[in-house]
Structure 1
Amino acid sequence: MDFPSKVDQRQDDGTQKATEINRIISAEIKDITTWLVRNWGGMFDGIDKIITITMVHLEDALKWIPWPVTIAAVCIAALIMSGWRLALLALLSFIFIGLMNRWDSAVETIAIIIFSVIVSVVIALPLGILGARSNRADGAMRPVLDGMQTMPSYVYLVPGILFFGLGYTPAVIATVIYAVPPAIRLTNLGIRQVSPAAVEAARSFGASPTQILTKVQVPMALPTIMAGINQTTMLALSMVVIASLVGASGLGEDVFRALQRQDPGNSVIAGLSIVLIAIVFDRLTQAAARSRQEALQEGH
């Protein structure tokens, strides 16, 4: 008969202590969550209604526009900003999506991306400006942003599910949390990189701090800010399939359902549609940033 050694007993004691600590922390988190839902449930319901209604109307508006008009608008924008190659790429990409009977799903996906990116930009611009103007604020935000960018993407679904259940809201919130850090970082970086001489020249002409920010720093930092928006858009698209786990419709849902049915053909088609949308969006945002950079250089 084997008797446990002192080392084994110490390991068992350590395991029991770790289990007890884990139980205590889990219980505290559950209590905090329950308290928040009980006392702030009305606020969460209001946020849920606002996001859901906005998403429904945005989807309906995009679906109401005839698909030839949508394709023509994107192609014209691509032609103006970049040239015929990008316009042809956009045309072929959207024709492929339409021929594969994925147009409605693509529109639903684009609606989520548009709304999530807009919310991300609204959050990122003031935080990035704050970080650029205050080293203390920048130091406080940096570890938070590092954690947001290194945390597994599935973890972002947890707060949304806890407070909002299934639907558009947790999908949008998870997408925003996952995608917003690059926009904050590059807004901060872009404003910090603005030439001190330009700022000093504006100040010497009597410009107020607000005028310097809105008429000098932000316009000159816009190419870098656009690069941040580009990265935010790509990260939002990368969350499409994961967001489908909490009720988001669109191409991500098509991929998820095809995988559940063990249907590789439809999953590949839906996945390829996501890739094509990502490529078109990436090229368009890059072209917009490049156009702004060229305009600044011509101004100098």
Structure 2
Amino acid sequence: MDGFRIPIGDWVDAGVDWIQANLGGVLDAISVIVTFLVDGLTAMLLSVQFPVIIIIAALLAWLVRSWKLAIGTALSFLLIVGMNLWVPAMQTLALVLMATIVALVIAIPLGIWSARSATVGAVLKPILDFMQTMPAFVYLIPAIVFFGIGVVPGLVATVIFALPPGVRLTELGIRGVDSETVEAGQAFGAKSGQILGGIQLPLAMPTIMAGVNQVIMLALSMAVIAGMAGADGLGKLVVEAISTINIPKGVEAGLGVVLIAVFLDRVTAALGTPAENKDSLLGVLSKRRTQRRRAAADAAAEAARIHEETEREKVRRTSTV
């Protein structure tokens, strides 16, 4: 038994070699598309003056959360500008947003499928466990072999690492919808797609948005690891600071990641139920709309009462005559 070993690593290495030899065209296409999307989003963010980005971010924070978060967002982004980290911060933001979009495009349909099929759920569960518990650095090895140094292996590794919570929470949200509500929809003749789009997804949205939040947070946690693969941004600055033992550079780059993470976390956490946040602009508008509807309903009820009393008075007078 001393010399016995199961060569799982060798098998994986052989699989990687086979993919390189037979799917090179597909890998090149993925590399071109990902580079185009990330570089395009980065260029778009950097083409706008930073005050405009800050105002948009602050308005978004006020829209879904509160004016306090709006002020905090503006101050946080101004601090990033003051540390001269605006360009790498936008590079990191572009990478995180693109990785989140790709992960959600894969995760939400898989979560829906898993919630509607016990077999699919049973198959996906160990795969998601593997993806979520495997050290994130391991994903960089085949990613760099496939795509070389740059933003592409960083994004691929980020998507793989961040995807599981999106699948799990989408499945959890749909499974958590009250079965009686679904049965009521079926009783009214709603088809499977109508029940999914009109009942299950709306009711599961807070849980799904929690999954989106977790995907974004995990994607941001991969910023430094993506920097090791050569992706530009704050993660790359942290890697450079580690290699040169540069404490100020590392602290400032890490603080930039924290500030972006706090903004994205608060905004996405509030997106699930924006109208319930009383200090948000949407919450204020929703409250006023509810008050107007209530006032209109009270006025209609009062008019109906007056009309009923008038009709009764007419009947009384007629009977008296």
Q: Same fold (TM over 0.5)?
A: yes
- The 1-side partners of 2:28 and 2:152 are apart by 10
2:258 maps to amino acid: V
2:254 is the alignment partner of 1:287: no
- The 2-side partners of 1:183 and 1:293 are apart by 23
- The 1-side partners of 2:230 and 2:58 are apart by 31
2:182 is the alignment partner of 1:194: no
TM-score when scaled to structure 1? 0.89
Query: Which residue of the partner structure matches residue 237 of structure 1?
Result: 220
1:114 maps to amino acid: L
Query: Which residue of the partner structure matches residue 28 of structure 2?
Result: 45
Give structure 1 stretches of 5+ with no counterpart.
1-13
Root mean square deviation of aligned Cα: 1.7
Please, which of 239, 258, 269 is the counterpart of residue 275 of structure 1?
Answer: 258
User: What's the offset of the Cα at 1:29?
Assistant: 3.2
User: What's the offset of the Cα at 1:197?
Assistant: 2.0
**Between the two proteins, what is the percent identity of the paired residues?**
44
2:94 is the alignment partner of 1:111: yes
Q: Contact conserved, 1:222 with 1:292, CA < 8 A, in 2?
A: no
- The 2-side partners of 1:27 and 1:115 are apart by 33
TM-score when scaled to structure 2? 0.84
Q: Contact conserved, 1:174 with 1:243, CA < 8 A, in 2?
A: yes
Deviations 1:209-248 (CA, angstroms, capped at 9, x unpaired): 1111111111111100000000110000000001111111
Q: Contact conserved, 1:255 with 1:266, CA < 8 A, in 2?
A: yes
2:208 is the alignment partner of 1:221: no
1:202 maps to amino acid: G
Deviations 1:3-29 (CA, angstroms, capped at 9, x unpaired): xxxxxxxxxxx43333xx44xx44443
Query: Which residue of the partner structure matches residue 315 of structure 2?
Result: none
Please, which of 38, 46, 55 is the counterpart of residue 55 of structure 1?
Answer: 38
Q: Contact conserved, 1:243 with 1:252, CA < 8 A, in 2?
A: yes
Q: How many residues align?
A: 280
Q: Contact conserved, 1:223 with 1:293, CA < 8 A, in 2?
A: no
Query: Which residue of the partner structure matches residue 64 of structure 1?
Result: 47
- Of 157-166 and 228-237, more deviation after overlay is shown by 157-166
2:110 is the alignment partner of 1:127: yes
- The 2-side partners of 1:204 and 1:293 are apart by 31
- The 1-side partners of 2:45 and 2:14 are apart by 42
User: What's the offset of the Cα at 1:292?
Assistant: 6.3
Deviations 1:117-164 (CA, angstroms, capped at 9, x unpaired): 001110011100011001111111111111111111111112211211
Please, which of 206, 225, 237 is the counterpart of residue 189 of structure 2?
Answer: 206
2:177 is paired with a residue whose SS is coil
1:84 maps to amino acid: W
Q: Greater CA radius of gyration, 1 or 2? A: 2
Please, which of 76, 97, 100 is the counterpart of residue 83 of structure 2?
Answer: 100
Deviations 1:153-212 (CA, angstroms, capped at 9, x unpaired): 111112211211111111111000100101100000000011112212222222111111
- The 2-side partners of 1:114 and 1:43 are apart by 23
Please, which of 150, 171, 182 is the counterpart of residue 133 of structure 2?
Answer: 150
